[in-house]
Amino acid sequence: MFGPALRRLTSWFVPASMVALMSAGAVGQEAENAIPKSLGTFKHPEDNLSDPRKIALGKQLYFDPRLSADKTVSCATCHDPKHGWSDGRATSAGVGGQVGGRNAPTVINSAFHRFHFWDGRAATLEEQALGPIANPIEMNLPVEEAVKRLNEIEGYKKQFNEIFGGDVTKECLAKALAAYERTILSGDAPYDRFKAGDTSALSEPAVRGMKLFFGKANCSACHSGPNFTDFAFHNIGVGMDKPEPDKGRVVISELEGDTGAFKTPTLREVARSGPYMHDGGMKTLEEVVEYYAKGGTPNKYLDEEISKLNLTDQDKSDLVTFLKEGLSSDTYPMHEKPELPE
Protein backbone atom coordinates (compact mmCIF):
# COMPACT_ATOMS: atom_id res chain seq x y z
CA MET A 1 0.00 0.00 0.00
CA PHE A 2 1.22 3.51 -0.77
CA GLY A 3 1.30 5.76 2.28
CA PRO A 4 -0.35 9.20 2.42
CA ALA A 5 2.94 11.08 2.09
CA LEU A 6 3.89 9.18 -1.07
CA ARG A 7 0.34 9.58 -2.38
CA ARG A 8 0.58 13.36 -2.15
CA LEU A 9 3.82 13.34 -4.12
CA THR A 10 2.53 11.03 -6.83
CA SER A 11 -0.88 12.72 -7.06
CA TRP A 12 0.31 16.21 -7.87
CA PHE A 13 3.28 18.51 -8.09
CA VAL A 14 3.59 21.87 -9.83
CA PRO A 15 5.94 24.79 -9.27
CA ALA A 16 4.59 27.58 -7.10
CA SER A 17 5.40 30.29 -9.61
CA MET A 18 3.73 30.15 -13.01
CA VAL A 19 3.64 32.94 -15.53
CA ALA A 20 0.46 34.43 -17.03
CA LEU A 21 -1.41 37.56 -17.90
CA MET A 22 -5.16 38.16 -17.80
CA SER A 23 -6.74 40.08 -20.67
CA ALA A 24 -8.67 43.18 -19.67
CA GLY A 25 -11.91 44.42 -20.98
CA ALA A 26 -15.02 42.43 -21.85
CA VAL A 27 -17.72 40.60 -19.96
CA GLY A 28 -18.42 43.30 -17.55
CA GLN A 29 -16.00 44.61 -15.01
CA GLU A 30 -16.47 41.68 -12.64
CA ALA A 31 -14.91 39.18 -15.02
CA GLU A 32 -12.10 41.34 -16.26
CA ASN A 33 -10.53 42.61 -13.09
CA ALA A 34 -6.85 41.78 -12.78
CA ILE A 35 -5.90 38.66 -10.88
CA PRO A 36 -5.85 39.58 -7.17
CA LYS A 37 -2.25 40.13 -6.10
CA SER A 38 -2.62 37.76 -3.19
CA LEU A 39 -3.18 34.82 -5.54
CA GLY A 40 -0.10 35.11 -7.72
CA THR A 41 -0.46 34.20 -11.41
CA PHE A 42 -1.56 31.24 -13.50
CA LYS A 43 -0.84 29.98 -16.98
CA HIS A 44 -3.33 29.97 -19.83
CA PRO A 45 -3.06 27.02 -22.24
CA GLU A 46 -1.17 27.96 -25.39
CA ASP A 47 -4.16 26.92 -27.50
CA ASN A 48 -6.68 28.83 -25.37
CA LEU A 49 -5.23 32.22 -24.54
CA SER A 50 -7.50 34.71 -22.83
CA ASP A 51 -9.61 36.93 -25.07
CA PRO A 52 -12.45 39.30 -24.05
CA ARG A 53 -14.85 38.03 -26.71
CA LYS A 54 -14.16 34.41 -25.79
CA ILE A 55 -14.80 35.15 -22.12
CA ALA A 56 -18.09 36.89 -22.95
CA LEU A 57 -19.16 33.88 -25.02
CA GLY A 58 -18.15 31.48 -22.25
CA LYS A 59 -20.20 33.43 -19.73
CA GLN A 60 -23.31 33.16 -21.88
CA LEU A 61 -22.79 29.43 -22.26
CA TYR A 62 -22.17 29.01 -18.52
CA PHE A 63 -25.55 30.51 -17.66
CA ASP A 64 -27.51 28.94 -20.54
CA PRO A 65 -29.85 26.04 -19.59
CA ARG A 66 -30.17 25.08 -23.26
CA LEU A 67 -27.00 23.05 -22.71
CA SER A 68 -29.07 20.49 -20.78
CA ALA A 69 -31.40 17.83 -22.17
CA ASP A 70 -34.62 19.46 -20.94
CA LYS A 71 -33.28 23.03 -21.07
CA THR A 72 -33.68 23.54 -17.32
CA VAL A 73 -30.12 23.14 -15.97
CA SER A 74 -27.07 25.30 -16.68
CA CYS A 75 -23.54 25.22 -15.30
CA ALA A 76 -24.65 28.04 -12.98
CA THR A 77 -27.45 25.89 -11.55
CA CYS A 78 -24.94 23.86 -9.56
CA HIS A 79 -22.19 26.49 -9.47
CA ASP A 80 -24.17 29.60 -8.60
CA PRO A 81 -22.55 32.92 -7.61
CA LYS A 82 -25.28 33.35 -5.00
CA HIS A 83 -24.12 30.18 -3.23
CA GLY A 84 -20.35 30.59 -3.27
CA TRP A 85 -20.26 29.17 -6.82
CA SER A 86 -21.74 25.95 -5.43
CA ASP A 87 -25.49 25.36 -5.01
CA GLY A 88 -26.26 25.25 -1.29
CA ARG A 89 -27.29 21.60 -1.47
CA ALA A 90 -25.65 18.56 0.10
CA THR A 91 -25.55 16.86 -3.31
CA SER A 92 -26.64 18.45 -6.54
CA ALA A 93 -29.81 17.84 -8.56
CA GLY A 94 -29.69 17.55 -12.34
CA VAL A 95 -32.28 17.16 -15.08
CA GLY A 96 -35.46 15.41 -14.06
CA GLY A 97 -34.63 15.95 -10.40
CA GLN A 98 -31.91 13.30 -10.43
CA VAL A 99 -29.60 13.65 -7.45
CA GLY A 100 -25.88 12.90 -7.54
CA GLY A 101 -23.72 11.49 -4.80
CA ARG A 102 -21.28 14.37 -4.36
CA ASN A 103 -21.42 17.99 -3.35
CA ALA A 104 -20.92 20.59 -6.08
CA PRO A 105 -17.45 22.05 -5.39
CA THR A 106 -16.96 25.77 -5.78
CA VAL A 107 -15.35 26.87 -9.03
CA ILE A 108 -13.73 29.91 -7.40
CA ASN A 109 -10.05 30.15 -8.39
CA SER A 110 -10.27 26.93 -10.38
CA ALA A 111 -7.89 28.58 -12.85
CA PHE A 112 -5.10 27.65 -10.43
CA HIS A 113 -6.07 24.00 -10.03
CA ARG A 114 -4.05 21.15 -11.50
CA PHE A 115 -6.91 18.66 -11.25
CA HIS A 116 -10.67 19.13 -11.37
CA PHE A 117 -13.63 17.34 -9.77
CA TRP A 118 -13.39 15.84 -6.30
CA ASP A 119 -11.49 12.82 -7.63
CA GLY A 120 -9.28 14.82 -10.01
CA ARG A 121 -10.42 12.99 -13.12
CA ALA A 122 -10.01 16.05 -15.36
CA ALA A 123 -6.56 17.55 -15.87
CA THR A 124 -7.69 20.85 -17.41
CA LEU A 125 -10.63 23.21 -17.24
CA GLU A 126 -11.23 22.50 -20.91
CA GLU A 127 -11.60 18.79 -20.13
CA GLN A 128 -13.73 19.50 -17.08
CA ALA A 129 -16.11 21.84 -18.90
CA LEU A 130 -17.76 19.18 -21.06
CA GLY A 131 -18.17 16.55 -18.32
CA PRO A 132 -21.33 17.88 -16.63
CA ILE A 133 -23.03 18.55 -19.98
CA ALA A 134 -22.87 14.89 -20.99
CA ASN A 135 -23.28 13.40 -17.50
CA PRO A 136 -26.66 11.56 -17.45
CA ILE A 137 -27.56 12.72 -13.93
CA GLU A 138 -26.40 16.31 -14.42
CA MET A 139 -27.24 17.98 -17.75
CA ASN A 140 -27.72 14.74 -19.70
CA LEU A 141 -27.03 16.19 -23.14
CA PRO A 142 -24.58 14.36 -25.42
CA VAL A 143 -21.89 16.82 -26.41
CA GLU A 144 -22.62 16.23 -30.09
CA GLU A 145 -26.24 17.26 -29.47
CA ALA A 146 -25.09 20.33 -27.54
CA VAL A 147 -22.93 21.36 -30.50
CA LYS A 148 -25.86 20.84 -32.87
CA ARG A 149 -28.14 22.99 -30.72
CA LEU A 150 -25.66 25.82 -30.52
CA ASN A 151 -25.12 25.80 -34.27
CA GLU A 152 -28.88 26.30 -34.66
CA ILE A 153 -28.80 29.47 -32.51
CA GLU A 154 -27.74 32.30 -34.80
CA GLY A 155 -26.31 34.43 -32.00
CA TYR A 156 -23.99 31.63 -30.88
CA LYS A 157 -23.05 30.52 -34.38
CA LYS A 158 -22.03 34.08 -35.26
CA GLN A 159 -19.84 34.44 -32.15
CA PHE A 160 -18.10 31.11 -32.65
CA ASN A 161 -17.33 32.05 -36.24
CA GLU A 162 -15.93 35.44 -35.23
CA ILE A 163 -13.84 34.07 -32.36
CA PHE A 164 -12.79 30.61 -33.53
CA GLY A 165 -13.12 30.99 -37.28
CA GLY A 166 -15.80 28.35 -37.81
CA ASP A 167 -19.02 26.79 -36.57
CA VAL A 168 -19.43 25.42 -33.05
CA THR A 169 -17.31 22.38 -32.18
CA LYS A 170 -16.93 20.55 -28.90
CA GLU A 171 -13.32 21.75 -28.65
CA CYS A 172 -14.33 25.40 -29.03
CA LEU A 173 -17.27 24.95 -26.65
CA ALA A 174 -14.87 23.66 -24.00
CA LYS A 175 -12.41 26.50 -24.63
CA ALA A 176 -15.06 29.20 -24.29
CA LEU A 177 -16.41 27.77 -21.02
CA ALA A 178 -12.91 27.34 -19.61
CA ALA A 179 -11.91 30.87 -20.61
CA TYR A 180 -14.83 32.25 -18.62
CA GLU A 181 -14.22 29.98 -15.62
CA ARG A 182 -10.68 31.37 -15.38
CA THR A 183 -12.19 34.78 -14.57
CA ILE A 184 -14.01 33.53 -11.45
CA LEU A 185 -11.45 34.73 -8.93
CA SER A 186 -11.42 35.75 -5.30
CA GLY A 187 -8.53 37.12 -3.27
CA ASP A 188 -7.41 40.18 -1.35
CA ALA A 189 -9.52 39.18 1.64
CA PRO A 190 -9.03 40.56 5.18
CA TYR A 191 -6.41 37.85 5.77
CA ASP A 192 -4.36 39.13 2.83
CA ARG A 193 -4.60 42.71 4.00
CA PHE A 194 -3.54 41.65 7.50
CA LYS A 195 -0.52 39.80 6.13
CA ALA A 196 0.36 42.89 4.07
CA GLY A 197 0.57 44.97 7.23
CA ASP A 198 -2.97 46.19 7.94
CA THR A 199 -3.33 44.95 11.51
CA SER A 200 -6.89 46.31 11.67
CA ALA A 201 -8.08 43.99 8.90
CA LEU A 202 -8.85 41.11 11.31
CA SER A 203 -10.63 41.11 14.64
CA GLU A 204 -8.88 39.70 17.71
CA PRO A 205 -10.82 36.40 17.55
CA ALA A 206 -9.94 36.06 13.85
CA VAL A 207 -6.26 36.66 14.60
CA ARG A 208 -6.37 33.97 17.27
CA GLY A 209 -8.10 31.68 14.79
CA MET A 210 -5.45 32.41 12.15
CA LYS A 211 -2.68 31.45 14.58
CA LEU A 212 -4.50 28.20 15.35
CA PHE A 213 -5.04 27.52 11.64
CA PHE A 214 -1.32 27.73 10.94
CA GLY A 215 -0.34 26.29 14.30
CA LYS A 216 -1.92 23.91 16.79
CA ALA A 217 -4.97 23.07 14.67
CA ASN A 218 -2.69 22.07 11.76
CA CYS A 219 -5.24 23.12 9.11
CA SER A 220 -2.47 24.47 6.89
CA ALA A 221 -0.96 21.00 6.51
CA CYS A 222 -3.41 20.59 3.60
CA HIS A 223 -5.03 24.01 3.23
CA SER A 224 -1.81 25.76 2.27
CA GLY A 225 -0.65 28.43 -0.16
CA PRO A 226 -2.51 31.44 -1.56
CA ASN A 227 -5.59 29.34 -2.36
CA PHE A 228 -5.58 27.51 0.96
CA THR A 229 -5.24 24.14 -0.74
CA ASP A 230 -2.32 21.86 -1.58
CA PHE A 231 -4.34 20.61 -4.60
CA ALA A 232 -3.60 17.06 -3.44
CA PHE A 233 -5.89 14.23 -2.35
CA HIS A 234 -6.50 13.13 1.24
CA ASN A 235 -8.60 10.60 3.11
CA ILE A 236 -9.98 12.52 6.09
CA GLY A 237 -12.44 9.77 6.96
CA VAL A 238 -15.64 11.36 5.69
CA GLY A 239 -18.09 8.63 4.71
CA MET A 240 -15.65 5.83 5.46
CA ASP A 241 -17.99 4.43 8.13
CA LYS A 242 -20.69 3.75 5.54
CA PRO A 243 -21.30 0.18 4.28
CA GLU A 244 -20.22 1.21 0.76
CA PRO A 245 -18.13 4.38 1.02
CA ASP A 246 -17.29 6.55 -1.97
CA LYS A 247 -13.83 5.31 -3.06
CA GLY A 248 -12.73 8.71 -4.36
CA ARG A 249 -9.37 9.20 -6.05
CA VAL A 250 -8.37 5.53 -6.16
CA VAL A 251 -10.80 4.91 -9.03
CA ILE A 252 -8.75 7.33 -11.13
CA SER A 253 -5.20 6.78 -9.85
CA GLU A 254 -5.49 3.04 -9.09
CA LEU A 255 -3.17 3.63 -6.12
CA GLU A 256 -4.47 1.81 -3.05
CA GLY A 257 -3.35 4.67 -0.81
CA ASP A 258 -5.82 6.95 -2.59
CA THR A 259 -8.81 4.96 -1.29
CA GLY A 260 -11.35 7.38 0.14
CA ALA A 261 -9.17 10.36 -0.79
CA PHE A 262 -10.62 13.56 -2.25
CA LYS A 263 -9.12 16.80 -3.48
CA THR A 264 -8.44 19.47 -0.89
CA PRO A 265 -10.90 22.29 -1.68
CA THR A 266 -9.95 25.95 -1.61
CA LEU A 267 -11.06 27.80 1.51
CA ARG A 268 -11.43 31.11 -0.30
CA GLU A 269 -15.03 32.28 0.28
CA VAL A 270 -15.68 29.13 2.31
CA ALA A 271 -18.34 30.88 4.41
CA ARG A 272 -20.50 31.17 1.28
CA SER A 273 -20.13 27.67 -0.18
CA GLY A 274 -21.63 25.28 2.38
CA PRO A 275 -22.63 22.57 3.00
CA TYR A 276 -19.21 21.01 3.23
CA MET A 277 -17.18 17.88 2.41
CA HIS A 278 -17.41 15.80 -0.75
CA ASP A 279 -20.77 14.39 0.35
CA GLY A 280 -22.14 17.70 1.63
CA GLY A 281 -22.74 16.05 4.99
CA MET A 282 -21.72 18.99 7.17
CA LYS A 283 -24.00 22.02 7.10
CA THR A 284 -21.83 24.47 9.01
CA LEU A 285 -18.19 25.39 9.52
CA GLU A 286 -18.72 24.71 13.19
CA GLU A 287 -19.47 21.07 12.31
CA VAL A 288 -16.38 20.92 10.12
CA VAL A 289 -14.09 22.21 12.87
CA GLU A 290 -15.63 19.82 15.38
CA TYR A 291 -15.07 16.91 13.00
CA TYR A 292 -11.38 17.69 12.60
CA ALA A 293 -11.01 18.31 16.33
CA LYS A 294 -12.16 14.77 17.10
CA GLY A 295 -9.63 13.35 14.62
CA GLY A 296 -11.90 12.44 11.72
CA THR A 297 -13.27 8.94 11.18
CA PRO A 298 -10.72 6.17 11.76
CA ASN A 299 -10.08 3.91 8.78
CA LYS A 300 -7.22 2.01 7.16
CA TYR A 301 -6.39 4.86 4.77
CA LEU A 302 -6.80 7.86 7.09
CA ASP A 303 -4.31 10.59 6.19
CA GLU A 304 -1.31 10.90 8.49
CA GLU A 305 -2.09 14.57 9.12
CA ILE A 306 -5.46 13.74 10.71
CA SER A 307 -5.39 13.23 14.47
CA LYS A 308 -7.34 14.31 17.51
CA LEU A 309 -6.74 17.98 18.34
CA ASN A 310 -6.57 19.47 21.79
CA LEU A 311 -8.85 22.42 21.07
CA THR A 312 -10.96 24.32 23.55
CA ASP A 313 -14.43 25.63 22.74
CA GLN A 314 -12.85 29.08 22.40
CA ASP A 315 -10.27 27.70 19.97
CA LYS A 316 -12.99 26.20 17.81
CA SER A 317 -14.96 29.42 17.82
CA ASP A 318 -11.88 31.44 16.87
CA LEU A 319 -11.07 29.09 14.00
CA VAL A 320 -14.57 29.50 12.58
CA THR A 321 -14.30 33.27 12.95
CA PHE A 322 -11.06 33.27 10.96
CA LEU A 323 -12.57 31.16 8.19
CA LYS A 324 -15.66 33.33 7.92
CA GLU A 325 -14.11 36.75 8.45
CA GLY A 326 -10.60 36.29 7.16
CA LEU A 327 -11.24 34.53 3.85
CA SER A 328 -14.34 36.37 2.61
CA SER A 329 -13.35 39.05 0.11
CA ASP A 330 -15.02 42.42 -0.44
CA THR A 331 -14.45 41.82 -4.16
CA TYR A 332 -16.35 38.52 -4.24
CA PRO A 333 -17.19 37.68 -7.89
CA MET A 334 -20.99 38.08 -7.84
CA HIS A 335 -21.45 37.66 -11.59
CA GLU A 336 -24.92 38.30 -13.01
CA LYS A 337 -26.58 36.20 -15.70
CA PRO A 338 -25.95 37.81 -19.11
CA GLU A 339 -28.46 38.25 -21.88
CA LEU A 340 -28.49 35.02 -23.87
CA PRO A 341 -28.28 34.96 -27.67
CA GLU A 342 -31.16 33.92 -29.92
**Rounded CA separation 54/257 (Å):** 40
| Three-point CA angle 110, 325, 181, nearest 5° | 15
Segment (H or E) for 233: strand 233-234
pLDDT digits over 230-269, tens only?
A: 999 999 999 999 999 999 999 999 999 999 999 999 999 9
Residues 316 and 246 placed together within one structural domain of the fold: yes
256 catalytic residue (yes or no):
no
Catalytic residue among 32, 46, 138, 171: 138
* Residue 6 Cα to chain centre, angstroms: 24
Q: How many domains does the chain have?
A: 2
> 276: domain CATH number?
1.10.760.10
Q: Are 106 and 265 in contact (CB under 8 A)?
A: yes
Is residue 333 situated within a structural domain?
no
Quote the pTM value.
0.90
pLDDT at 294: 98
Mean pLDDT of 165-187: 98
Residues 91 and 50 placed together within one structural domain of the fold: yes
Mean pLDDT of 177-197: 97
31: pLDDT strictly greater than 50: no
pLDDT at 70: 97
**Rounded CA separation 84/109 (Å):** 12
Buried b (16+ CB within 10 A) or exposed e, 186-196: bbbbbbbbbee
Q: Which of 274, 329, 306, 328 is nearest to 83 (CA)?
A: 274
Is residue 340 situated within a structural domain?
no
Residues 51 and 134 placed together within one structural domain of the fold: yes
Residues 292 and 175 placed together within one structural domain of the fold: no
Domain span holding position 261 = 190-326
